[in-house]
Amino acid sequence: MKHTRIALLAAAALWGLPAAGFAQEGEEVLDADAPAAEGEGAEPADAPAEGGEEFNDAEFEEKGEGVGDICEIDPAACPTLDMAKEANKPLGETIKAVQQRFIIKKHRFELQPFWGITLNDQFVGHPGPGLAANFYITEVMAVGINGQYYDPFNNESAFNAQVRRAARVGVPLTEYQWAAAANFSYMPASGKFSGFGNFIFHYDMYVVGGIGAISTRPIAVIDPDYRNFSYQPHVDFNVGLGLKIFFNRWFAAVLEVRDYIFIDQLENLVVPADPADRANSATWLGDTSLTNNVQAQLGVSVFIPFSFKYRLPKAGADTAGGAK
């Protein structure tokens, strides 16, 4: 009996939450931006189920909101329920940890401007602005492209000059011009955080991988009097891991760590004795090197269109199992 009342109360709470919906396929379609939103997000809906508050018969009757009203208006429509029988029915509700998706991503575009900084190159920093664009095929999978512009932002560490001056050892260095890639993203993890016990925000974690090109050139340090390199594109592969924190249904902050892997062409460490040979650009390039350009990318994410429609699950769907 108590369970039935709790379930009724939970259903009432859910009914009053038009702005938060399930992501699963279903029948009824609601507009996320429709007015009359009593509550926001899934969290209040969790509260009755988690808190297990007692249903108050007297209060229910006093407000005249019971089934008695229907019976007074139309006795024929008055429901006849065997409460004992109803109470004995297995409830079997599934209460998910993340009860309803905060946003729906399927079939939406995402624009993601970001700023990248180098994590693993102590010799030359390669910061720069970038832009990614994704299209969500499903709620958890997306395809997209991204690009980054490095050229004016490469900065050589003071440490290089110190090594050259102190140890008389030159390290071949490389600077980047641009990079672009086609990517596939998958979001295996999502969740929600309570901030200061006061407000709630949602987040998801994703893995991303792709293939593209990066344009690089050596910085002439071994024989700079003669050598002057131009940028050349190289094929690169990338893998990464990201965290997206949602502030509303179309705007999020993004932190991503991505490794761009490519074979780089380095400056030749050998300087020919003959000035004519030194001036010959065919002698300037030396070994190749497998390079990992690991970047932290901090940016924002804008989902387009800004609004979306919820699809509530079919009645009776997904009722097996227990609380998760």
Distance, CA of 206 to CA of 186 (rounded, Å)? 5
Q: Record the tokens describing residue 245, joined without a space.
A: 């924190």
* Closest by CA position to 268, among listed 227, 209, 311: 227
Q: Measure CA 186 to chain center.
A: 9
Rounded Cα gap, residues 299 and 247, in angstroms: 13
Q: Of residues 183, 222, 240, 242, which one binds another protein by CB under 8 A?
A: 222
Asked if residues 164 and 170 have their Cβ atoms less than 8 Å apart, the reply is: yes
275 near another protein (CB under 8 A)? no
Q: Does 221 bind another protein (CB under 8 A)?
A: yes
Question: By CB under 8 A, is residue 174 in contact with another protein?
Answer: yes
Applying the rule CB under 8 A, the residues between 302 and 321 that interact with another protein are: none
Name the token pair of 274.
Answer: 């003959």
The answer to whether 220 contacts another protein (rule: CB under 8 A) is yes
Q: Which of 11, 67, 117, 182 binds another protein (CB under 8 A)?
A: 117
The residue range among 64-72, 80-88, 182-190, 233-241 that interacts with another protein, by the rule CB under 8 A, is 182-190
**Smallest Cα–Cα separation from 98: which of 187, 17, 188, 190?**
190
Q: Which of 1, 34, 70, 269 binds another protein (CB under 8 A)?
A: 269
Q: From the list 200, 207, 279, 285, which residue makes contact with another protein (rule: CB under 8 A)?
A: 200
Exposed, middle or buried by CB within 10 Å (0-12, 13-18, 19+), for 297?
buried
Give yes or no for residue 88 binding another protein (CB under 8 A): no
Q: Which of 21, 130, 144, 172 binds another protein (CB under 8 A)?
A: 172
Nearer to another protein, 79 or 152 (CB): 152
